[in-house]
Amino acid sequence: MSNVRTKDIIDKFHFDLIAGEEGVNRLIATSDISRPGIEMAGDFTFYPAERIQLLGKTELTFFNRLTAEQRKHRMDNLCTDITPGIIVSREMEVPTELLEACEQEGVPLMRSSLKTTKLSSRLTNYLESKLAPTTAIHGVLVDIYGVGVLITGKSGVGKSETALELVKRGHRLVADDCVEIRQEDEDTLIGNSPELIEHLLEIRGLGIINVMTLFGAGAVRSYKRITLCINLELWDKTKQYDRLGLEEEKMKIIDTEITKLTVPVRPGRNLAVIIEVAAMNFRLKRMGVNAAEQFTNRLADVIEEGEREEI
């Protein structure tokens, strides 16, 4: 999980810093945004002080109807030593009581020209992306026909060589060797490459190559949603591999499960073509076309028909 500070959102959204400059290094610990309407009415019982506070037209219109004593009391309570920042939307005039309270407590006071709802949505999306749980997996991530395929397996099994062949076939490399993964939603995993090795492939006997330089900008992309994992393993004669495709194994990354296929590796097998077809078949299944189920149903019909004829 990345550390996000108030100065990061100021730079990202070009907020005007009105007061509380000494607090711009405060940590933002949650992606939730608070619009303190009940607090403006005087109830601070469940005030989420650790969140970014967003004041829009509704909150400030009500606030301006309060007495001078009430306005000072509300703003003094709104500004705490853990509040990462207060944002006023629509470039509205900042109340004097708020400005003084922010200066006193060192709470960054910012102003934006965006409408409140749009600002809240953009800010939430940004914070969720930055504060999402993260992990790193040894493997290769490739975009194949729009499907984010994570290729895993033991070192030396041929992951990078397979990725190179896939790039030559027109697909796009996202990451090689180390894939950084963040969980942006309950069922959404986004993978990208560490900055140090971005666009690079390591091929044993050849060394490190720059995919973007060799194949062009269309052969790489910065990040991709991961929906399928293909695990490469050396062929084991004693192991029974799935030949129909009815069984669907799952792999859990952080809190999200994705489909996992195990592909045995041995001389003569074109892994790039197999993975390419696996990605296309995965897309078909998501569209409701399952070849394995169709074959099983047809086989069951033939068997049933044969039994009737015997009777």
Structural domain ending residue among the three candidates 110, 130, 150: 130
Q: What is the structure's pLDDT at 298?
A: 82
Q: What is the structure's pLDDT at 248?
A: 79
Q: What is the structure's pLDDT at 202?
A: 92
Whether 98 and 219 map to the same domain: the answer is no
Residue 193 lies in a domain: yes
Record the tokens describing residue 244, joined without a space.
């129909």
Q: What is the structure's pLDDT at 90?
A: 94
Residue 307 lies in a domain: no
Structural domain ending residue among the three candidates 100, 130, 160: 130
Q: Are 4 and 130 in contact (CB under 8 A)?
A: yes
Whether 125 and 166 map to the same domain: the answer is no
Whether 17 and 61 map to the same domain: the answer is yes
Q: What is the structure's pLDDT at 204?
A: 87
Whether 145 and 259 map to the same domain: the answer is yes
Residue 138 lies in a domain: yes
239 annotated to bind ligand: no
Whether 117 and 146 map to the same domain: the answer is no
Q: What is the CATH number of the domain that holds 187?
A: 3.40.50.300
Whether 262 and 141 map to the same domain: the answer is yes
Q: Are 232 and 272 in contact (CB under 8 A)?
A: no
Q: What is the structure's pLDDT at 299?
A: 73
Q: What is the structure's pLDDT at 246?
A: 66
161 annotated to bind ligand: no
Q: What is the pLDDT along the chain (311 residues), one digit of tens a residue?
A: 578 999 999 999 999 999 999 999 999 999 999 999 999 999 999 999 999 999 999 999 999 999 999 999 999 999 999 999 999 999 999 999 999 999 999 999 999 999 999 999 999 999 988 899 999 999 999 999 999 999 999 988 999 999 999 999 999 999 999 999 999 888 899 999 999 999 999 998 889 999 999 999 999 999 999 999 999 998 887 777 776 666 778 999 998 999 999 999 888 788 999 999 999 989 888 888 777 777 777 877 787 777 666 65
Whether 74 and 146 map to the same domain: the answer is no
Q: Which residues contact 45 (CB under 8 A, 6 or more apart)?
A: none
Domain range for 143 is 134-295
Residue 1 lies in a domain: no
State the catalytic residues: 138, 159, 177, 243
Q: What is the structure's pLDDT at 289?
A: 77
113 annotated to bind ligand: no
Q: What is the CATH number of the domain that holds 56?
A: 3.40.1390.20
Whether 97 and 195 map to the same domain: the answer is no
Q: Are 29 and 1 in contact (CB under 8 A)?
A: no
The total number of structural domains that make up the chain: 2
Q: Are 210 and 199 in contact (CB under 8 A)?
A: yes
159 annotated to bind ligand: yes
